[in-house]
Structure 1
Amino acid sequence: MSTNPEIANSIEAAGLQTNYHDVGQGDPVLLIHGSGPGVSAWANWRLTLPDLAQHFRVIAPDMAGFGFSARPANYTYHMNNWVTQAVGLMDALDIQQASIVGNSFGGGLALALAIKYPERVNKLILMGSMGVEFPITEGLDQVWGYKPSLDNMKALLDIFAYSRALVTDELAELRFKASTRPGFQESFSSMFPAPRQRSVEMMASPVEAIQALPHHTLIVHGRDDKVIPLQNAYTLHQLIDQSELHVFGQCGHWTQIEHAKHFNQLVINFLQS
């Protein structure tokens, strides 16, 4: 039994061995993490899982190339394959429909999944979300272009978080060590090669398809986000007919960490409404 809290259950999802957390009971909610170096579902959602699990069955997988899911030698890191993995996980767990909470990269993935498999999605929550085209920010370019070093990780944490109280040497050390685990940087560096604007476009869904989404959608964004521009949230709010928007002040890209309790309650209220 692993003592690492990032490692939980393992199941084959669309042919890919997938590490996932599965906690709580009730209506299923799928949490899809972002794309920072060394990220895992646990690192992304550790403050979200306990609160949501009091009301729902919460599933948080490591997507292919991240965390402790498999990294097949010839795997193509592309939106279509990540969507296939996510739906494959739902199939493997016999979940016909789930609400989806997507963070950044995970928001783009959630949108793509809802467009391709609308009947599999109940409600959508998009947090600091990708999924529409935008000129890549300097912050995102630095995140995706990360080269492992403690100083580089400290610089990234400064980009991610609004409050320096969160950006401790201890956190930087933990995230740096996570980014240098065997296989982590190899898969990460192959996902978003320069010029990285192409990856922003790969993660975007067609505007007409987003406009056609029938799902109730909550859009959440940090006003001071340096990674994904706040304009993305306004664009998605305009495109998705049944959407509502919540913007947190004094908040960077880590809404679920910087304003954890408020974010969790916002999600719970929305999913229960």
Structure 2
Amino acid sequence: MNAVGKVPPVEKAYRSRFVDIDGIRTHYLEAGEGPVVVLLHSGEFGGCAELSWEYLIPRLAERYRVIAPDWLGFGQTAKIHDFEGKRARMIAHMARFLAVLAIGRASFVGNSMGATFLLQISAEQHPGFAIERLVAISGGGWMPENAARKRLTDYDGSMDGMVGILQSLFEDSVWHDDVDYVRRRHALSITPGAWEAVAAARFRSPHAPERKEFGQADATNYEAISVPALLIAGAEDKLRLPGYAAEVAKRIAGSRVAVIPSCGHCANIERPDVVGDLLLDFLAEKARHPVPA
């Protein structure tokens, strides 16, 4: 860290843009030129493309055209939640985003929710995603419903509640000790519609059967993933079980795993130096071993 008790400074080397996707105002970050890399952010309260990728975009943009959209309901994208099919609606919106921006074959990197969705999209061979290579950071596998998860799902919109979220996401205490960073995260989590859009996933009619988002069996057909895949895990991830990434990788032909010591759930934020090296090495391999169109 650059200063005691302070998170690293950010180099804002990206452009903020908006595009209309079938009547939905959609926000994304863009930087660099070259082959396209799409970054899919995590899904905690206040989560967005900028928070997830602000440390990695400048480095990736030296070699690639980087596109980092805000998921439907997150960041500066419209705060819409589909009560009939949250995941399906979010993925369909993202597929339309890629189509409107004319993004064809690309490499994809996801963190947490973004990584889990990315693995599922690849396993399902979704026609709206032409995935050349994928990197999943803290995604996939069984997701335990533990105390750390409860701090995320039970967020009450308070500053103390945001400290709890950051304690669950990161291993290094600086991320919840830095008051300015906590305030920034908190402010993004309580913008109009932001809390409601995320909390809506747990709303339930008294007439509907109880459903749980976590602590359930992972039904993803990882064996169907046929593109080169890299799974990155934090050794101290409080939201996953030790060894989960290796178990997932066993089911994806030719995949590999990188476990980062002294790191939590968001290695893209907590250890962007290590993750940047891993991404650049992995993405550069396509020049030597191209994937047939």
Query: With structure 2 as the length reference, what TM-score do the two structures score?
Result: 0.83
Structure 2: which amino acid aligns with 1:169? V
- What is the CA–CA distance in structure 2 between the aligned matches of 1:140 and 1:73, rounded to whole Å? 21
Conserved 8 A contact 1:64-1:77:
no
Conserved 8 A contact 1:129-1:232:
no
Root mean square deviation, CA, Å? 2.6
Deviation at 1:133?
3.5
| CA distance 1:192–1:133, change in 2 (3 Å) | farther
Superposition pairs for residues 95-244 of structure 1, below 5 Å?
95-114=103-122, 115-117=124-126, 120-130=130-140, 132-167=141-176, 168-193=178-203, 198-200=212-214, 204=218, 206-207=219-220, 209-244=221-256
Conserved 8 A contact 1:6-1:41:
no
- What is the CA–CA distance in structure 1 between the aligned matches of 2:217 and 2:27, rounded to whole Å? 23
Deviation at 1:158?
1.6
- What is the CA–CA distance in structure 1 between the aligned matches of 2:45 and 2:28, rounded to whole Å? 18
Conserved 8 A contact 1:221-1:230:
no
- What is the CA–CA distance in structure 1 between the aligned matches of 2:193 and 2:249, rounded to whole Å? 37
Deviation at 1:201?
7.4
Aligned match of 2:63: 55
Structure 2: which amino acid aligns with 1:198? K
Any unmatched runs of 5+ in structure 1? none
Deviation at 1:202?
8.7
Conserved 8 A contact 1:104-1:129:
yes
User: Residue deviations 1:97-139, cap 9 Å, x none?
Assistant: 1111010000111112222327710001000113x33432321
- What is the CA–CA distance in structure 2 between the aligned matches of 1:6 and 1:202, rounded to whole Å? 38
Deviation at 1:154?
1.2
Deviation at 1:58?
0.7
Pick aligned residue for 1:17 from 25, 38, 61? 25
Deviation at 1:153?
1.0
Give the match's secondary structure for 2:171. Answer: coil
Structure 2: which amino acid aligns with 1:164? S
Structure 1: which amino acid aligns with 2:175? L
Pick aligned residue for 1:69 from 67, 73, 77? 77
| CA distance 1:229–1:13, change in 2 (3 Å) | farther
Superposition pairs for residues 21-60 of structure 1, below 5 Å?
21-60=29-68
Deviation at 1:230?
3.5
Q: Does 1:255 align with 2:263?
A: no
Query: With structure 1 as the length reference, what TM-score do the two structures score?
Result: 0.89
**Identical-pair percentage:** 24
Conserved 8 A contact 1:35-1:104:
yes
Q: From the two aligned structures, give the one with the greater helix fraction.
A: 1
Count of residue correspondences: 267
Runs of 4+ residues deviating >6 angstroms: 4-7, 194-197
- What is the CA–CA distance in structure 2 between the aligned matches of 1:77 and 1:146, rounded to whole Å? 23
